[in-house]
């Protein structure tokens, strides 16, 4: 095994050797540099492998042949090996990336580069504090040199500010070191730790100086203006090295030196880390310049790792995994992002849409963004989950909350950036040239990020490899993305079919999960079938759709909290990409994502509290939460309600569902919303009646008002898909109200609504989606009379509408009947009336939809429309068959559900012999009602047919007005502002109060960030003053 | 749960009686109205004559499938309401098919007919019909609120939704009619009935007399005859519904005829006195007073 | 004038921060444990009379290596930073009138200074001084040459060769230390010889010679670049 | 006895360096400021001698005062042009 | 005697820092920085001083080997200062190079003119 000392010898030897060539032989010296970097990577890699397979033990390397206190020693343990390996890898990849740039500048720049990487290695390995100072100085001079790789006036200023700041810092470090030596008598870190300097006040100040300087090297929040300028102005290739390499070395040094200060320091470091993480992310929300934004984000992430280092005594043995997972994730993702920004070379994030030209680069960009926020299959997801779990179980909940707020703030600007990339329009002419040496590092980093995610499974309780099976299939779909759409469609349907067949045994026993499993899987397949009518390739649609369905499947089949959260985040990621495909859906997808991420974090906190009380990852732990139960249940409830868009959390739904693509809307609204409902049902089952009764009462009222406002808003909509979206809000308000009653009848009504809503909403969105595409407009007042052209879709919408309105013959009435009995038995009378009134309003807009699309006068530009494509009609008519079966034989569906619910709630519904559902209040025989109505219908039809005989169809007469066309023609269309009367009477209920509320909240946050941003005035001297203030304040807090 | 022909025949007979009584009642009402206005009014057999005339008219014109099926929905709505409600309390043959559903089914069945009319009329494409529909639906929604409040109040009071139990509770003397045992609910119910009957103050929707506005504008001949038969049946059945709920139901045909006449007379009488409301005013009116009374009724019934 | 007062206030605060350190310093009566060890067996281990040199070169050899790298870094960063294209170099510098005294004095002094520099770093292990000081003296010699005759050109090729060779040799000696003696940069690869004679203290004189050469050439290179940048546009 | 002389010498040099630093910072003319810096580092090298550190004194003298001041003057000259 | 030198060292350091933060002119800032480093160097050497000690060079003519060990000064801080002086030179040289380039760019020595990178 090559000794680690050769890293230094090799690097310095080559650096001096490069001096020989002066200005000539540029390419050759470039390759010499790469060889050197590769050698260093090999050495540290070889040590890492040795440690991983246990064949090596921690080694102390003595220089100059003497024992440590008298000479400098380097240590090569498993930690050092991993960190040096990471640094050398980033050095090698950075060298490859910057190859051309370094060649242009000359081979002295190459030697500076290789020396910089060597200095980071030694910083990690050395155990001597003065040696650490020397190599930190080498690092800072080399960085100052590297900043001016692209000679712009900005990079010059950044360089000077950097030198000023590091100069002041290193001076103070010197004082700290010399006095530490004076008190401890030795320069070796272990010697100083042994001397326990904290005992005396002066010793404490010396240690304070050392640690404060090391913290300042990591650019803590208020005093990091100089750091941000470096990120913004330097060449992004070098920015990657600073953000990944130097930060990793700096964090390890802090970890190494912290024991010097005793455990009080751990607390200070975690507080500083938290302030940095939240502060820089918050200020980042206002940022428009790409590199500076990456600077804010990397400082934030470093702050997070610093917090974790500070929390070491609390986290115990989980510390190593969490710190490494978060650091590795930041390391890989940030390097990748900087490299991509090096290729894109655009300053402002709004014109990054050129990234869409190269789909491979785009996918990698997305992977980095999602890795940073902490979405599944990435290490940060596992790290953050484990961090929150152990934090809450050691009951510092506030730290967990602040961390989540910080990463939510990061989500704000990262997703805005992603939105710009995916949706901003693209100038055609400029082409994106990607040289191979810039592309390969990014690919390597992405691959290792995914592999890191895979390998972090054994470290987290409750995680198992089974969750990665769907991801492998999604990867496979991603690879075959070049095929035409219909092949991919068949493949994905087959895949989903097999996967659901595979998972079925998992849910077989539990009827509730089987129903939801059926809705997710069967509904998913149906909505995918609709995709057959789409031509072309539909890049990126199928992997993402499968990801959503995989997430849904995992939620239903898993039995532990980790699996549930894994599936939840997977589903959110998948659905985000589905929604953002719509033409005008950028703002809506953005608000959807923010609400979902916030909701997911609330759920995580809730799970944390459950884990804290039950100490297990199983979902059963939700049953009896002893740690702050009411808080836990409220958090979980609100978290799930962000997904069911209840009142107050609903503003994302109309835009997200309204603007989505025609076959995405049914997926997202009919199938996805049920995930939130499933979550709520689980929660209420585990919570039980007595613990949550006030919460349930409130949720009942929330459900009632959501139903009312949702349906009312739907009836005043002019846009067809928006109307359906608002109606989904209303229907989910029903479901929430029903299950909040916690009685068998209530839950039966809830289940009926879940099944009904799935059936008719899928039909409505599919058909309306098809029509909107055919008719070319969303607005109801531009449509009409399509019954003549599309009779089949008219019939489908008619049946769906009757089910939605709850009219007797069809299954909708079953829901209403159960609902009525439940309300009276439960005693929630007033809410019952509100929800019933909402039901009538539902009838109104259902009719408006039917009327304005199909009936009335056929518009002349729709004359030659033909029926919507069979690929939509087939699933629609399967669903209609489902509705008829459910309406004709309600007992076959409701009885098993009733029995299943019987073991949770007292049973109040029996099924009499002749299929008559009997409660103490009333009875209802769906089958009989159906038969009677159909027979009456046939009789009366026969009677009418008898007395009218043959009729001749009247051609459409064009109602022309005597006066000339009014200025706004749509006002004459009947469905324009159709329920004006109702609107004038109770329109005030639907005023956009809540949307304004959320807009004000976001404006307040952004203004605050704007004010704090003023801190960075750009003047180098001011930054130096910030550093001194920071030291004085830190001193007063810690020691003064 | 027997589908025996015999049950069907009794129901058909009941339907025939109701149809004739409906036509007679509307003719009587028109005469009384005319008398109040100083006119003689139509002869009592007028409705039969109109019906026969309409049925005999041959017509070839139809605006399409939904236009054709609209009146069928309408009539099925009317007949359905009749079938699902017991006519005479106590007598099994006259209880029709009320065992397969109850008050909730009836409440929802009202909108079944409304839906049919709306679809048929809008298929005809005439703007007058469309305006009438939007007004009708809005008003129907507003009427539903006090109606539901009344129904819920009664349901709380009697702890049941099934007709027979409600009627049973009201037997034996005037005093235990719902009118007196639960006055607030009855007032709310009666006010809602005014809207349901769509007589004068709230008849903007059909407004048959002055201008031919409203859903049936395009209907003629045999279609109109079907609509007429239905409106006749509907008047009686609506009145019967409110009779069963508030006035103790009928234990014999004789009682049935008298009570439905008086209930129907109340709405006509109110219609004579008050002028027609604008659509927003009617909605606002319904959502103000009747709903307030209804809510108080529910509170009183529930917590007192 | 708020800023000035703020800064003064800050200085007072910094003084307060540093005061405990200042106040805790009582001046030591006897050496620290580390210092005592060096005093006792510094000479036996490294054979160098000048203890500071033995600490600088062998005991804490890595620091010196770092030290040299810093100078090397500074020189190369400044070289590619202030470098400029040939075409925008002015024909010649305006020549200030060089006084007679300066030219004659420099002719006498320059060789003396170089001799002094070489002397300093050759027996760095005996007398105070060493590689850095010797290099600095040589650099001041070159500085005098720049000042005395204006058209003195420093040939970069020579500078680069000397600098690189001495650097590489220094690293090689370090590596040799591993094979032939205790560890990296150990000076016992050559005989320790007898204290106070020129050829004693193992590799220290060799290291210091190359170190002196390297520092001297680097600093003169830096000075050269500063001079050349004078006549850039 | 000699300790007293040393302390006196050290305090004189100390005050000289403080004054030099004051002139270096507050004097408006840059040339004077740079010379003052040179003087401060020269005095510092003498102080090192007092502290029995000949090596450091030589380094400070040659590098601290000579070369640093030289570079300062070169930069100043370049800026003056 | 070492107290006085220690005080001067600290005073120089604080004064250098003051100069670095208060002066507008770039050159003055670098001057402040070099005084700051010189002050710290003085403090470092003063720490190693042993009262009555002589330079740590053991040429064996005058004082005998053993006697010398009692009275020499601690060599370690001196070694450290040696390195920090050279580091000071490196950083100052780099700063001055930056100042020259910045001057070329914007023809001004006032630090307030270099504020392109803000917020």
Residues A594-619: pLDDT tens digits?
Answer: 999 999 999 999 999 988 887 888 88
The predicted pLDDT at position A429 comes to 66
**Domain, as residue range, for C231:** 56-84+101-233
CA angle, residues B192, B193, B195, in degrees to nearest 5: 70
- Which of A219, A240, A243 has the alpha carbon at shortest distance from A165? A219
* Cβ–Cβ contact E11 with D under 8 A: yes
Q: What does the alpha-carbon distance between residue A320 and residue A64 come to, in Å, rounded to a whole number?
A: 33
D53, D63, D74 member nearest C132 (Cβ) = D63
Looking at the partner chain, which of A64, A126, A1031 has a beta carbon nearest the beta carbon of C58? A64
Handedness of CA A252, A257, A259, A262 (dihedral sign): negative
Closest approach of chain A CAs to the CA of E61, in angstroms?
A: 27
Distance CA A993, CA A991 (A): 6
Residue A347 lies in a domain: yes
Number of domains in chain D: 1
CA A489: distance to chain centroid?
26
pLDDT tens, position by position, C69-84: 999 999 989 888 877 6
Residue predicted with more confidence, A514 or C182: A514
**Residue in this structure with the two tokens 């880390």, named with its chain if needed:** A273
In this complex, do A5 and C81 lie within 8 Å of one another by their Cβ atoms? no
* Domain end (from A908, A941, A974): A941
The confidence score (pLDDT) of residue B268 equals: 81
pLDDT at A368 (0 to 100): 94
pLDDT for the residue numbered C92: 52
Q: Is the pLDDT of residue C91 over 60?
A: no
Which of A468-482, A973-987, C106-120 is predicted with the least confidence, judged by mean pLDDT?
A: A973-987
- Asked if the structure places residue C51 within a domain, the reply is no
Q: Which domain holds residue A128?
A: 5-383+396-447+1031-1038
Q: Decide if E9 is inside a domain.
A: yes
Pull the structure tokens for residue A333.
């993702």
**Do A111 and A14 touch, CB atoms closer than 8 A?**
yes
User: Mean pLDDT over residues A269-289, rounded?
Assistant: 91
For residues A520-526, give the mean pLDDT.
Answer: 90
Please, which chains are in contact with C (at least 3 CB pairs closer than 8 A)?
A: A, D, E
CB contact (8 A) between residue A157 and residue E47: no
Is residue C90 a part of any domain in this protein?
Answer: no
pLDDT confidence tier of residue A900, bands split at 50, 70 and 90: confident
| Phi and psi based region of residue A254 (left: phi greater than 0; alpha: psi -120 to 50; beta: remaining) | alpha
Interface present between E and D (3 or more CB pairs within 8 Å): yes
Touch between D and A (at least 3 CB pairs under 8 Å)? no
CB contact under 8 A, E46 and D51: yes
CATH of the domain at E50: 1.10.287.3510
**Residue E103, in any domain of the structure:** yes
pLDDT at C232: 63
| Angstroms from C205 CA to nearest CA on chain A | 16
Q: What is the mean pLDDT of residues A571-597?
A: 91
Chain A residues touching E112 at Cβ < 8 A: 1019
Q: How many domains does chain A have?
A: 2
Q: How far is CA A539 from the centre of its chain?
A: 21
Pair E3, D45: CB distance under 8 Å = no
The chain C residue lying nearest E92, using CA atoms, is C74
A578 occurs within a structural domain: no
A5 touches chain C (CB under 8 A): yes
Three-state SS letters, A702-715: HHHHHHHHHHHHHH
The answer to whether residue E31 sits within a structural domain is yes
* C68's tokens: 């040299």
The tens digit of pLDDT for each residue in A57-80 reads 888 888 877 877 888 888 899 999
* Confidence grade of residue C48 (pLDDT, cut at 50, 70, 90): confident
Rounded Cα distance, C152 and A277, in Å: 56
pLDDT score for E55: 79
The region of weakest confidence among A320-334, A539-553, B264-278 is B264-278
Q: How many domains does chain C contain in total?
A: 1
Do at least 3 CB pairs under 8 Å connect C with D?
yes
pLDDT for A352: 87
Give domain status of residue E74, yes or no. Answer: yes
Q: Please work out, in degrees rounded to the nearest 5, the angle formed at the alpha carbon of residue E24 by the alpha carbons of E19 and E25.
A: 90
Last residue of a domain, one of A941, A963, A994: A941
First to last CA, chain D: 55
Within 10 angstroms of residue D25's Cβ, the number of other Cβ atoms is 21
Tens-digit pLDDT profile for residues A767-816: 998 898 888 888 888 888 888 888 899 999 999 988 988 888 888 888 88
Neighbours of A833 (CB within 10 A): 23
- For residue C115, is it within any domain? yes
Nearest to A175 among E33, E43, E94 (CB): E43
Structure tokens at B194: 């005014």
Average pLDDT, chain B: 81
- Strand, helix or coil for residue A560: strand
CB atoms within 10 A of CB A348: 10
Chains B and E, touching by 3 or more CB pairs within 8 angstroms: no
Chain E contact partners (≥3 CB pairs within 8 A): A, C, D
Q: What pLDDT sits at residue A572?
A: 92
| B210 has pLDDT over 50 | no
Between chains, do B283 and A981 touch, taking CB under 8 Å as contact?
Answer: yes
Residue C97: phi and psi, rounded to 5, are -70, 115
Chain E positions touching D67 (Cβ under 8 A) are 89
Strand pairing class (A910-911; A73-76): unpaired
What's the structural domain count of chain E? 1
- Hey, which residues 35-64 in chain A have their CB within 8 Å of chain C? 61-64
Q: Please say whether the beta carbons of B154 and B161 come within 8 A.
A: no
Instruction: Name the residue range of residue E19's domain.
Output: 2-56+64-113
- What residues of chain E lie within 8 A of the CB of C25, using their CB? 3, 6, 46-47
Confidence of residue A212 (pLDDT cuts 50, 70, 90): very high
- Give the model's confidence band at B60: pLDDT under 50 very low, under 70 low, under 90 confident, else very high: low
A841–B97: do the CB atoms touch at under 8 Å? no
A925 to B80: CB separation less than 8 angstroms, yes or no: no
User: Is-contact B55 B225, C-beta < 8 A?
Assistant: yes
Two tokens, residue A291: 């590199």
- Residue A460 belongs to a domain: no
If you average pLDDT over every residue of chain A, what do you get?
A: 88
Under the banding of pLDDT at 50, 70 and 90, the label for residue E62 is very low
Residues with Cβ within 8 Å of residue A824, at least 6 apart in sequence: A832, A921, B152, B155, B156, B159, B161
Domain boundary among A923, A941, A959: A941
Burial of residue B49 (CB within 10 Å: 0-12, 13-18, 19+) is: exposed
Between E37 and B235, the higher pLDDT residue: E37
- CB-CB under 8 Å, D76 with E35: no
Which ranges of chain B does DSSP label H, i.e. alpha helix?
5-36, 46-56, 65-83, 103-124, 127-158, 163-169, 178-181, 183-197, 221-246, 253-273, 279-303
The pLDDT confidence band at residue A26, using thresholds 50, 70 and 90, is confident
Residue B144 tokens, joined: 């539903």
CA–CA dist C173, C43 (Å, integer): 20
The pLDDT-based confidence of B1 (bands split at 50, 70, 90) is: very low
User: Quick check: helix, strand or coil at residue A646?
Assistant: coil
Report pLDDT digits (tens) over A680-694: 998 888 887 777 788
Q: Is residue E104 part of a domain?
A: yes
Burial of B6 (0-12, 13-18, 19+ CB in 10 A): exposed
Is A626 among the domain residues? Answer: no
Q: Which chain A residue shows the shortest CA-CA distance from E102? A: A156
Q: Which residues of C touch A131 (CB under 8 A)?
A: 60, 62-63, 66
Cα dihedral angle (C120, C121, C122, C127), rounded to 10 degrees? Answer: 50
Contacts of E93 in chain C (CB under 8 A): 74, 78, 222
Residue at E119 is within a domain:
no
Q: What percent of chain A has pLDDT over 70?
A: 98
Residue C136 is nearest to which of D62, D75, D78, comparing CB atoms? D62
Chain A residues near residue C163 by CB distance under 8 angstroms: 16, 19
For B259, residues 6+ apart whose C-beta sits below 8 A from its C-beta are B239, B243, B247, B250
On average, the pLDDT of chain C sits at 83
Tokens of A871: 């690929």
């Amino acid at each position: 095994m090559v000794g680690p000392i050769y890293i230094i010898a090799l690097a310095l030897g080559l650096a001096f050797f490069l001096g020989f060539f002066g200005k000539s032989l540029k390419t050759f010296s470039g390759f010499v540099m790469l060889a050197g970097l590769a050698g260093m990577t090999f050495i540290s890699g070889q040590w890492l492998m040795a440690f991983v397979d246990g064949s090596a033990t921690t080694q102390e390397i003595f220089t100059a042949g003497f024992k440590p206190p008298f000479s400098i020693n380097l240590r090569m343990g498993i930690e050092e090996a991993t960190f040096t390996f990471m640094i050398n890898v980033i050095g090698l990849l950075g060298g490859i990336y910057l190859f051309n740039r370094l060649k242009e500048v000359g081979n002295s720049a190459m030697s500076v580069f290789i020396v910089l990487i060597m200095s980071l290695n030694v910083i990690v390995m050395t155990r001597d504090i003065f040696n650490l100072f020397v190599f930190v100085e080498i690092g800072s001079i080399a960085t100052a040199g590297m900043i001016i790789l692209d000679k712009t006036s900005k990079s010059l200023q950044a360089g000077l500010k950097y030198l000023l700041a590091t100069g002041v810092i290193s001076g103070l470090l010197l004082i700290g070191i010399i006095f530490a030596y004076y008190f401890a008598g030795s320069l070796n870190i272990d010697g100083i730790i042994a001397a326990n300097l904290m005992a005396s006040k002066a010793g404490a100040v010396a240690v304070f100086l050392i640690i404060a300087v090391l913290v300042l090297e990591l650019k803590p929040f208020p005093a990091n203006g100089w750091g941000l300028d470096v990120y913004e102005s330097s060449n992004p290739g070098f920015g990657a090295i600073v953000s990944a390499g130097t930060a990793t070395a700096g964090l390890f040094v802090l970890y190494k030196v912290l024991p010097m200060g005793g455990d009080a320091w751990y607390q200070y470091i975690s507080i500083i880390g938290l302030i940095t993480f939240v502060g820089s992310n918050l200020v980042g929300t206002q940022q428009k310049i790409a590199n500076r934004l990456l600077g804010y984000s990397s400082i934030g992430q470093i702050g997070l790792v610093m917090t974790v280092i500070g929390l070491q005594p609390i986290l115990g043995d989980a510390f190593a995994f969490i710190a490494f997972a978060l650091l590795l994730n930041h390391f890989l993702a940030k390097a990748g992002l900087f490299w991509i920004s090096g290729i894109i070379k655009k300053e402002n994030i709004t014109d990054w849409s050129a990234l869409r030209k190269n789909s491979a680069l785009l996918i990698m960009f997305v992977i980095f963004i999602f890795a940073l926020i902490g979405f599944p299959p990435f290490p940060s997801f596992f790290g953050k989950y484990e961090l929150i779990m152990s934090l809450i179980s050691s009951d510092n909940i506030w730290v967990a909350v602040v961390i989540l707020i910080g990463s939510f703030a990061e989500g704000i600007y990262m997703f805005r950036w992603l939105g710009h990339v995916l949706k901003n329009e693209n100038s055609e002419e400029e082409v994106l040239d990607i040289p191979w040496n810039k592309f390969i590092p990014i690919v390597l980093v992405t691959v290792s990020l995914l592999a890191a995610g895979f390998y972090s499974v054994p470290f987290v309780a409750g995680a198992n490899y089974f969750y990665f099976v769907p991801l492998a299939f999604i990867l496979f779909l991603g690879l075959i993305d070049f095929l035409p759409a219909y092949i991919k469609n068949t493949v994905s349907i087959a895949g989903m079919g097999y996967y659901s067949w595979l998972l079925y045994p998992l849910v077989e026993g539990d009827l509730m999960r089987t129903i939801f499993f059926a809705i997710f899987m069967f509904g998913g397949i149906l909505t995918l079938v609709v995709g057959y009518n789409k031509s072309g390739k539909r890049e990126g649609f199928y992997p993402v759709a499968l990801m959503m369905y995989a997430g849904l499947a995992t939620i239903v089949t898993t039995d532990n909290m980790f699996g549930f959260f894994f599936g939840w985040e997977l589903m959110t990621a998948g659905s985000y990409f589905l929604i953002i495909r719509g033409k005008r859906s950028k703002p809506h997808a953005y608000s959807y994502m923010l609400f979902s991420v916030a909701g997911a974090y609330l759920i995580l906190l809730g799970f944390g509290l459950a884990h804290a009380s039950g100490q297990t990852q199983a979902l059963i732990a939700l049953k009896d939460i002893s740690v702050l139960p009411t808080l836990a249940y409220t958090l979980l409830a609100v978290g799930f309600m962000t997904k069911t868009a209840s009142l107050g959390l609903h503003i994302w739904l109309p835009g997200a569902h309204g603007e989505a693509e025609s076959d995405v809307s049914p997926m997202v609204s009919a199938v996805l919303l049920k995930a939130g409902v499933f979550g709520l049902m689980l929660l209420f089952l585990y919570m039980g009646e007595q613990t949550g009764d006030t919460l349930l009462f409130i949720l009942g009222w929330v459900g009632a008002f959501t139903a009312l406002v949702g349906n009312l808003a739907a009836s005043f909509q002019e846009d067809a898909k928006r109307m359906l979206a608002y109606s989904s809000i209303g229907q989910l308000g029903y479901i929430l109200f029903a299950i909040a009653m916690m009685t068998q009848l209530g839950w039966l009504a809830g289940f009926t609504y879940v099944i009904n809503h799935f059936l008719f909403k899928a039909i409505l969105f599919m058909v309306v989606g098809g029509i909107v595409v055919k008719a070319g407009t969303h607005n109801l007042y531009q449509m009409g009379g399509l019954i003549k052209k599309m009779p089949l879709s008219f019939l489908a919408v008619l049946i769906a509408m009757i089910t939605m309105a709850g009219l007797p013959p069809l299954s909708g009435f079953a829901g209403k009947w159960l609902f009525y009995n439940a309300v009276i038995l439960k005693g929630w009378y007033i809410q019952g009336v509100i929800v019933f009134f909402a039901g009538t309003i539902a009838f109104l807009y259902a009719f408006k939809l039917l009327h304005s699309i199909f009936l009335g006068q056929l518009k002349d530009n729709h004359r030659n429309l033909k029926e919507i494509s069979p690929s939509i009609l087939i699933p629609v008519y399967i669903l209609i068959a489902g509705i008829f079966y459910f309406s004709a034989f309600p007992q076959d569906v409701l009885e098993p559900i009733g029995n299943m619910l019987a073991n949770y709630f007292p049973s109040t519904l029996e099924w009499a012999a002749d299929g008559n559902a009997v409660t103490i209040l009333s009875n209802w025989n769906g089958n009989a009602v159906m038969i009677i109505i159909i027979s009456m219908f046939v009789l009366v039809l026969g009677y009418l047919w008898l007395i009218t005989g043959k009729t001749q169809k009247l051609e459409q007469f064009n109602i022309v007005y005597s006066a000339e066309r009014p200025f706004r023609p749509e006002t004459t269309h009947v469905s324009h502002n159709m329920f004006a009367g109702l609107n004038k009477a109770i329109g005030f209920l639907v005023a956009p109060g809540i949307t304004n509320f959320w807009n004000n909240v976001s404006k307040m946050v952004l203004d605050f960030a704007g004010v704090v941003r003023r801190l960075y005035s750009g003047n180098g001297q001011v930054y130096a003053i910030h550093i001194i203030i920071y030291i004085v304040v830190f001193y007063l807090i810690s020691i003064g | 749960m027997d589908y025996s022909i015999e049950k069907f025949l009794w129901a058909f007979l009941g339907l025939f009686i109701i149809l004739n009584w409906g036509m007679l009642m509307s003719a009587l009402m028109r005469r009384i109205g005319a008398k109040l206005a100083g006119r003689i009014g139509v002869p009592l057999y007028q409705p039969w004559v109109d019906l026969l005339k309409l049925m005999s008219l041959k017509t070839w014109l139809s605006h399409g499938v939904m236009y054709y099926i609209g009146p069928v929905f309408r009539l099925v709505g009317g007949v359905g309401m009749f079938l699902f409600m017991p006519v005479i309390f106590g007598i099994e043959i006259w209880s029709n098919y009320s065992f397969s559903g109850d008050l909730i089914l009836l409440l929802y069945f009202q909108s079944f007919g409304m839906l049919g009319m709306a679809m048929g009329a809008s298929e005809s494409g005439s703007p007058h019909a469309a305006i009438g529909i939007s007004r009708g639906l809005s008003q129907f929604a507003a009427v539903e609120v006090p109606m539901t409040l009344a129904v819920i109040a009664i349901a709380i009071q009697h702890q049941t939704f099934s007709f027979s139990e409600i009627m049973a509770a009201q037997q034996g003397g005037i005093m235990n009619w719902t009118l007196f045992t639960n006055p607030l609910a009855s007032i709310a119910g009666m006010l809602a009935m005014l809207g349901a009957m769509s007589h004068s103050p709230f008849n903007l929707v059909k407004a048959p007399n002055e201008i031919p506005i409203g859903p049936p504008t395009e209907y003629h001949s045999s279609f109109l005859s079907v609509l007429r038969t239905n409106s006749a049946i509907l008047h009686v059945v609506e009145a019967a519904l409110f009779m069963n709920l508030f006035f103790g139901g009928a234990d014999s045909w004789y009682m049935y005829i008298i009570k439905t006449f008086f209930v129907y007379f109340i709405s006509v009488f109110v219609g004579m006195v008050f002028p027609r409301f604008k659509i927003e005013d009617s909605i606002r009116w319904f959502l103000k007073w009747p709903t307030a009374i209804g809510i108080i009724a529910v509170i009183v019934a529930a917590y007192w | 004038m708020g800023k000035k007062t703020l800064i003064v206030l800050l200085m007072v605060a910094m003084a307060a921060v540093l005061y405990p350190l200042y106040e805790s310093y009582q001046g030591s009566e006897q050496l620290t444990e580390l210092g005592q060890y060096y005093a006792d067996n510094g000479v036996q281990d490294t054979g160098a009379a000048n203890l500071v040199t033995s600490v600088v070169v062998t005991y804490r050899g890595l620091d010196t290596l770092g030290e040299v790298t810093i100078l090397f870094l500074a020189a190369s960063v400044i070289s590619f930073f202030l470098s400029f294209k040939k075409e925008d170099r002015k024909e010649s510098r305006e020549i200030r009138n060089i006084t007679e005294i300066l030219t004659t004095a420099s002719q006498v002094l320059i060789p003396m200074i170089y001799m002094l520099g070489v002397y300093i770093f050759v027996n760095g292990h005996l007398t105070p001084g060493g590689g850095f000081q010797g290099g600095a003296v040589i650099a001041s010699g070159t500085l005098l040459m720049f000042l005395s005759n204006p058209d003195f050109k420093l040939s970069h090729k020579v500078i680069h060769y000397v600098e690189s060779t001495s650097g590489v040799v220094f690293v090689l000696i370090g590596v040799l230390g591993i094979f032939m003696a205790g560890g990296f940069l150990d000076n016992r690869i050559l005989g320790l010889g007898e204290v106070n004679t020129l050829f004693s203290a193992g590799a220290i004189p060799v290291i210091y010679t190359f170190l002196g050469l390297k520092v001297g050439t680097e600093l003169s290179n830096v000075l050269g670049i500063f001079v050349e940048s004078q006549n850039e546009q | 006895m000699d300790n007293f002389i040393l302390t006196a010498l050290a305090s004189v040099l100390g005050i000289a360096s403080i004054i030099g630093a004051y002139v270096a910072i507050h004097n408006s003319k840059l040339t004077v400021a740079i010379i003052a810096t040179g003087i401060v580092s020269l005095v510092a090298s003498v102080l090192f001698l007092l502290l029995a550190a000949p090596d450091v004194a030589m380094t400070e003298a040659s590098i601290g005062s000579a070369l640093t001041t030289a570079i300062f003057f070169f930069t100043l000259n370049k800026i003056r042009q | 005697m070492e107290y006085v030198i220690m005080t001067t060292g600290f005073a120089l350091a604080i004064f250098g820092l003051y100069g670095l933060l208060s002066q507008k002119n770039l050159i003055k800032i670098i001057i402040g920085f070099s005084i700051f480093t010189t002050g710290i160097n003085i403090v470092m050497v003063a720490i190693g001083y042993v009262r009555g000690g002589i330079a740590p060079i053991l040429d064996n003519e005058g004082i005998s080997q053993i006697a010398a060990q009692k009275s020499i000064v601690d060599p370690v801080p001196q070694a450290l200062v040696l390195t920090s002086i050279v580091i000071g030179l490196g950083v100052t040289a780099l700063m001055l190079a930056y100042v020259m380039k910045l001057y070329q760019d914007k023809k001004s020595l006032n630090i307030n003119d270099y504020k392109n990178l803000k917020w």
